[in-house]
Amino acid sequence: MPLFTIQNEFRYEIVRKIFEGGMGVVYEAEQIGARDFVKRVAMKVIRPNYASQKTFIDNFIGEAKLVADLIHTNIVQTYHLGEANGVFFIAMELIRGVNLEQFAQQLADKKKVLSRELAVFIVSRVARGLAYAHAKKDKDGKPLGIVHRDVSFKNVMIAFEGDVKLTDFGIAKAKGFLTDQEGEVVAGKADYMSPEQANFQITDKRSDIFSVGVVLAHLLLGKNIFKGPTADESRQRVLKMPIPDFRPMDERIDDKLNDILQRCLSRDLETRYASADELMYELEYYIYHGGYGPTNETLGKFMRELFGQMIPPAVDRPRGQTELIEHTSRIHSQP
């Protein structure tokens, strides 16, 4: 039995649209509490044309329940799953920053080169988040078997303070949380997926390692070597294209970094890194074995120099266009 029950009303006021995807929209919103309490959050809302599809709704709810218990500095935190007027939404940690796609575009626009150490640092933080997620167990101590399956430039965020956050577990695989049609359908972005993903095979945590390798190579080279003119062409490149020696492609890539990339991108599962922990150790040893390496503060300083400001200017809400979502929920406090 709960120690006590609190009846409370959550109010969210939409501020602006942050991102629009194929099946959902992410807004910046204000969570309004008692006595003028205000907290800025990100709010993921299902598009109306998907709101009646049971499988999609079940997975949206499953994602919220799964990520609610993934509490790690390198994973975007989930606060609340709600429903208003038949529409489900997830309130999440608001990251004042950009995703890697926007980051790379700004590098290109400003003709800036990302240092080898910062590139490795960013990817090492992604590996940290994945290592935590891959090891997560349920309340009975049984492994959840989480596989993200969508590690890509769009799903890695960098805050202006320098924090790196993995987000969007919407197509993740986890026991008891999300409907899984693996082997029947291909889930993920074609140019970042592993060969086993691209070939309709069953995946495990090593699949995410391949995707991390694609992210690292993309950061260093300024391009995704597997990206083709179509999704099918990208899949074929993932399956068949010879993995290159990366050293001649960029002077920042030395023998050791080339070895790391080769192991991440190995199509032989026995040769690929066995875990994100192992990859994280290799990446961190690479940048710190000399005694000093990049930190969140180093990355934050680079971000602020690159974008010219720490926090983007607020977007005023047009009069009459503010949307209010109210939700009543019960919070159970355990002794």
Residue 322: both structure tokens together: 């503010």
Decide: helix, strand or coil at residue 52: coil
Q: Which residues are catalytic?
A: 150
For residue 215, report the phi and psi dihedrals to the nearest 5 degrees.
-60, -45
DSSP string, 8-67: EEEEEEEEEEEEE-SSEEEEEEEEE-GGG-EEEEEEEEE-GGGTT-HHHHHHHHHHHHHH
CA separation (Å) from 162 to 13, 20, 295? 28, 24, 8
User: Which of 127, 148, 139, 252 has the alpha carbon at shortest distance from 194?
Assistant: 148
Sign of the Cα torsion 164, 99, 20, 307 reads positive
114, 63 Cβ separation under 8 angstroms: no
Residue 310 is classified by DSSP as S
Residue 75: both structure tokens together: 């994973």
Provide the residue count of the chain: 335
CA separation (Å) from 137 to 166, 175, 296? 19, 10, 28
